[in-house]
Structure 1
Amino acid sequence: MTSKTPTEVTRKSYAYEWYVVTVCMLAYIFSFIDRQILALMIEPIKHDMQLSDTQFSLLHGLAFSLFYAFMGMPIALLADKFSRPKIIAIGVAFWSLATALCGVSKNFLQMFMARIGVGIGEAALSPATYSMLSDMFPREKLGRAVAIYSIGSFIGGGVAFLIGGYVIDLLKNLDSVAVPLLGEMRPWQVTFFLVGLPGVLVALLIALTIRDPARKGLKLDAAGKVHAPSMKQAFKFLAVHRKTFFCHYLGFSFYAMTLFCMLSWTPAFYMRKFGLAPSDTGYMLGIVVLLANTSGVFCGGWLIDWLAKKGYSDAPIRAGVIGAIGMAVPAIAFTQVSELWMSVALLAPAMFFASFPMPASTAAMQILPPNQMRAQISALFLLISNLIGLGLGTTLVALLTDRLFQNPAMVGSSISLLNAFAIAFTLLLLIKGCRHFRESLKHEGLT
C-alpha cells in the first residue's frame, strides 16, 4: 500500500484553496463595510452637506457603481493575463484609502470623487477572485466556494451597520472629534477613517500569502503559447450565446436591484417611519444582515450544488428563480405593515432570498465561458448589474420619494414599488434563461 505524498493530501483536502477563499472573503467583507457604511449615516451627512434624497442616492449608488462598473472590464482584462492576487491587493489598498478620503470630504463634489475612488478599487476584487476560484475547485465544489466568498459581502454589510451604530452611539453627544493632523471632525467623518484604513493590512495579507493558481483549460496558439483572448473575442462569445447572457445579465441585475434597494434605503425607512435612532437601526439591521443574508448566500450555494447533483444542468439559473419566488411577497410587504416587529419579521426572509443570486449568477459565469474569458465576462456582468441594481435602483427610490410622493416619510412606498417592478422582471428573464443556458451548455459541449 503506497503512502500519499503531502502534495496529494493537500490537494485532496483543498486546505490551501479554502484558505484563499477565506482571505478573499475577508477582503469582500471590508469592501462591503466601506461601501455600505454610508447608508446608515444618511441623516447626518444630508444635514451637514444640505443634500436631498436624490443627491444622497448619487453618492451611495451612482458615484460608486459608475466607475466600479466601467473600470471592471479593463481590470478584468489584466486579470485574465497577469497575476490575479497582485491585482486584488492593489485594488484593496486603493479603495481602503479612498474610503478614508470620504472622511475629509467637505461638500457633495468631494464626496462624489472619493466614492468614485472606492468604486475603482473594488472593481479589482470579484472578477479576479471568481477567475481564481474556477481554477482551484471542480464544478461540484464551485458553488460552495463562491457562496462562502460571497458571504463576505453580507458579513461586511452587517458589520458596517453594527460598527456604524456603535460609533454613532459612542459619539452621539459630541459635535466634533479632535483628530491628530486633521483637526476637528464630525463623528461621521471619523467613522470613514475607522472602517477604511484597516483594509490596507488586508491588501498586504493577500500580496504576501496568495499565489496565482495555474489556469485550467487554456488554449494554445500556433507557437504553443497561451492564447489570451481579447475583449473583442469575449464579445464574440457573448454574441454566440446572446440569449443566455441577455437573460442572465438583466435577470440577475433586476434581482440585484431589489437587494441593493433594501440595503441602501431600509435604514432611512426605519428611522423615518418608526422613529428609530441611527444607532438602534444599525444594531437591528446588522443582526438581520449577518443572520439572514449570510445564511441565504450559503443556502443558495448549497442549492446550486444539490440541483447540479440531481442532474439539472441549469442549476445556477434555476436557483435564482427559486430565490426570486421566495423573495417576492416579503420584499414588497415589509414596508407596508404598521408594527415594527412585523416589518422586521418580513425583512428577514426578504433578505435571505435576496442573497441567492450572489453564488447563482457567479457560478453560471464560471461554468459556460472559456477560462481566459471568465474575468472579462464577470466584469461585464458586474458593470451591468451595478449600473442597474445599485446605480439606477437606489436613485429610482430617491426619485419616487422626492418627485412622486414628495415626502421623505414615504420612502417605504418607494421601496415597495421598485421591488415589485424588479421582481417581476427578474422572474420573467430567469425563467426564460434556464432554457437558453441549457442550450448554450450543449453548444459548448459541456453537458
Structure 2
Amino acid sequence: MNKPQTPAAPGGEAYAWFVVAILMIAYVFSFVDRQILNLLVGPIRRDLGISDTQMSLLMGFSFAIFYTILGIPLGRLADSKSRRGLIAAGVVVWSVMTALCGTAKHYGQLFLYRVGVGVGEAALSPAAFSMIADYFPPQRRATAISVYSMGIFLGAGLAFLVGGLVIRFAAAQGAVVLPVVGEIRPWQLVFLILGGAGVLFSFAFLLVREPPRHGAAATVAPFGEVFAYLWRNRRTVLCHNLGFAMLAFCSYGTGAWIPSFFVRTHGWDAGQVGIVYGLIVMVFGSAGIVFGGRLTDRWLLRGRDDAALRVGICASVICMLSGAAYLLAPSGTLAAIAMSPAAFALGMPFGAAPAAIQEIVPNRMRGQTSAVYLFIVNLIGLGLGPTAVALFTDYVFRDDHALRWSLLIVGTVSNVAAVVLLAAGLRPYRETLARLRG
C-alpha cells in the first residue's frame, strides 16, 4: 500500500526550510537559556551557598516541573490555535524569565525564575513538530525534524562556548552596577544578556506563515479521545517514550555535570571547559542528529518502518562504550577526544524519535501526542537525570571528586534500559503503524 503524501506546503520547499531554520534558531535560544546554568555551577554554588543536589534542582527539576505539566495543554492549543503565535509568545516568556534569573539574590528566587523559563519553553516543540509535519511529507519528516532538533546541540554548544568566553570577560570586569537592578555578579550578567537577545529574536516570527493542517478534522481531538488512542497502542507508546526517555536521562544527566567533571577531575577552568566542550557538542552533536534523521529516512525508504527505534538502539550502544572511555581517561585531553563519539551518538535519535510519533497518530492528535512524548522524556530525562548524578555524588560517594563514578553508573544503567525498551517496542510500533495505514 502506498504511503500517504503531504500536499505541497505554502511557499514551496525553500520556504518550508526557511521556517525550519527559524524554528531551529528558537530551539537554539531555548537550549542556551536552559544549559548555560551547567557552566555556572561553581560561581552559583559559591554565591548562593548551595550543594550539588540543590544545584541539580535548578538544572533539571525546577525547569522540568512546569515544562512537562504545561506541555500537554499547550500541545492541545497547538492542535487548534495558531502555532506560530503560540511559539512567539513562548519565546518572549522564557526570555524574560531568563533575564530575571540575572536579578536573583537568593536560591528561592532563582528556583522560581527557572520554573518560569520552563513555562515559556513548553510552548515550543509540540507546536514546532506539528508545523513541520504539515510542511513535509512522511518520508522527509525525520530529516526536517532532525534539522530543527539540531537546536538542542547548537544551543547547548553555544551555551558552553559563548558562555565560557562571556564568563572570562565578565569575571575580568568583576561585579557590575546596573540601573534599577543594582550590583550583579558575572554569572548574573550572562542571564541578562541572553534574555534580552531572546526577546529581540521573537520578532522573527512575523516572517513565518501558519501552514494548513493536512488531513485534520474540523475540531481538535478531545484529550479523552487522544488518551484512548494511546491506551490502545500502549505497548508502542510506552516502549517508544520510555526508551527515548532513558536516552534523554543519560544525555541530560551526564551533560549537566560534564563541565564540573572536567573542573574537578582534570583541573580545567570554566572558560576552557566552555570552549572545548561547547565545540564538541556543537560539531558532533549536530552531526549526529542530522545523521540519525537521514539514516532513519533512508531505512524507511527501504521498508524498515521501525527505523527510528533501531537508530535509538545503535545510539545507546555507541554512547555506552564511548562514555566509559572518556570517564576513565587519564587526562582531560584524552577525555575530550573519547567523548566525541558519545556526543555524536546522543544526537542520533532526537530528530528521529519525535518524527516517529508523528507517523503513528492522526493529524489532529499530533500536538497533544507530541506533548505527552515530551512530558515523559523531559520529566525523566531533564527532571530526574541531573539530580540522579548529584545524589550519587552527595549521598553515595560523599565526595565531589567522585563525580566520574556517578556519571559512569547513571550513564551505563540508562543506556542498558534504553536498549531493552526500544528493542521491545520494535514489533508493536510496526503493528500500530500498519493499523493506522490500513
Normalising by the residue count of structure 2, what TM-score does the alignment of the two structures yield? 0.96
The correspondence for 1:369, drawn from 353, 361, 368, is 361
Aligned-partner Cα distance in 2 for 1:268–1:87? 36
Q: Which amino acid aligns with 2:210?
A: D
Given that residues 333 and 416 in structure 1 are in contact (C-alpha distance below 8 angstroms), is that contact kept between their aligned partners in structure 2? Answer: no
Unaligned 5+ runs, structure 1: 1-7, 220-225
Q: Which amino acid aligns with 2:222?
A: S
Identity %: 39
1:12 positional shift:
9.2
Given that residues 332 and 415 in structure 1 are in contact (C-alpha distance below 8 angstroms), is that contact kept between their aligned partners in structure 2? Answer: no
Q: Deviations over 1:109-141 (max 9, x none)?
A: 100100000000000000000001111100111
Identify the residue that residue 135 of structure 2 maps to in structure 1. 136
1:326 aligns with 2:318: yes
Identify the residue that residue 231 of structure 1 maps to in structure 2. 223
1:212 aligns with 2:183: no
Given that residues 156 and 281 in structure 2 are in contact (C-alpha distance below 8 angstroms), is that contact kept between their aligned partners in structure 1? Answer: yes
Q: Which amino acid aligns with 2:214?
A: K
1:384 positional shift:
1.0
1:402 positional shift:
0.1
The correspondence for 1:414, drawn from 406, 421, 425, is 406
Unaligned 5+ runs, structure 2: 1-6
Identify the residue that residue 379 of structure 2 maps to in structure 1. 387
Given that residues 296 and 308 in structure 2 are in contact (C-alpha distance below 8 angstroms), is that contact kept between their aligned partners in structure 1? Answer: yes
1:144 positional shift:
1.0
Counterparts in 2 of 1:372 and 1:272: CA distance versus 1, 3 Å: same
Q: Which amino acid aligns with 1:379?
A: A
1:262 positional shift:
2.5
Q: Deviations over 1:201-242 (max 9, x none)?
A: 221211x111211001123xxxxxx13211111101101100
The correspondence for 1:293, drawn from 285, 292, 307, is 285
Given that residues 253 and 387 in structure 2 are in contact (C-alpha distance below 8 angstroms), is that contact kept between their aligned partners in structure 1? Answer: no
Q: Deviations over 1:321-342 (max 9, x none)?
A: 1211221211233111212222
Q: Which amino acid aligns with 2:353?
A: S
Counterparts in 2 of 1:10 and 1:433: CA distance versus 1, 3 Å: closer
- For the residue of structure 1 that corresponds to 2:220, the secondary structure is coil
Identify the residue that residue 155 of structure 2 maps to in structure 1. 156
Given that residues 332 and 417 in structure 1 are in contact (C-alpha distance below 8 angstroms), is that contact kept between their aligned partners in structure 2? Answer: no
Q: Which amino acid aligns with 2:22?
A: V
Given that residues 32 and 159 in structure 2 are in contact (C-alpha distance below 8 angstroms), is that contact kept between their aligned partners in structure 1? Answer: yes
Aligned-partner Cα distance in 2 for 1:439–1:392? 31
Q: Which runs of 4+ in 1 moved over 6 A?
A: 8-12
Identify the residue that residue 185 of structure 1 maps to in structure 2. 184
CA RMSD of aligned residues (A): 1.4
Matches within 5 A, 1:251-266: 251-266=243-258
Identify the residue that residue 146 of structure 1 maps to in structure 2. 145
- For the residue of structure 1 that corresponds to 2:171, the secondary structure is coil
1:405 positional shift:
0.4
Aligned-partner Cα distance in 2 for 1:98–1:140? 38
Q: Which amino acid aligns with 1:308?
A: L
Identify the residue that residue 97 of structure 1 maps to in structure 2. 96
Q: Which amino acid aligns with 2:26?
A: A
Q: Which amino acid aligns with 1:310?
A: R
Aligned-partner Cα distance in 2 for 1:384–1:129? 18
Q: Deviations over 1:392-429 (max 9, x none)?
A: 11101000000000001111110100011100100000
Q: Which amino acid aligns with 2:250?
A: T
Given that residues 313 and 419 in structure 2 are in contact (C-alpha distance below 8 angstroms), is that contact kept between their aligned partners in structure 1? Answer: yes
Normalising by the residue count of structure 1, what TM-score does the alignment of the two structures yield? 0.94
1:180 positional shift:
2.9
Identify the residue that residue 29 of structure 1 maps to in structure 2. 28
